[in-house]
Amino acid sequence: MTSKTQMTKAQLIEALTDAENKIVSLEKSVEQMEAEKVHIGAKLLDDEQSNMVSILKAQIVELESKL
């Protein structure tokens, strides 16, 4: 590839267009990853809540057995 100072206007436009397309593609990838992160985070939170509920239920059963 020639240096930027030796490129024709058409070559510069093509290089900029390619760069813009790569940026758009990367932005879409970032958005998808952020959506997956939210989904994974929500799932982990649900699992944590489920564990807390299980622990509380076990404690209630233990307390009831003592009565």
* DSSP collapsed to 3 states, 1-67: CCCHHHCCHHHHHHHHHHHHHHHHHHHHHHHHHHHHHHHHHHHHHHHHHHHHHHHHHHHHHHHHHHC
14, 22 Cβ separation under 8 angstroms: no
pLDDT in tens, 47-61: 777 788 888 889 998
Structural domain boundaries in the chain:
7-66
Tell if the pTM clears 0.75, that is, is over it.
Answer: no
The model's pLDDT over 12-40, given as tens digits with 9 standing for 90+, comes to 999 999 999 999 999 998 888 887 776 65
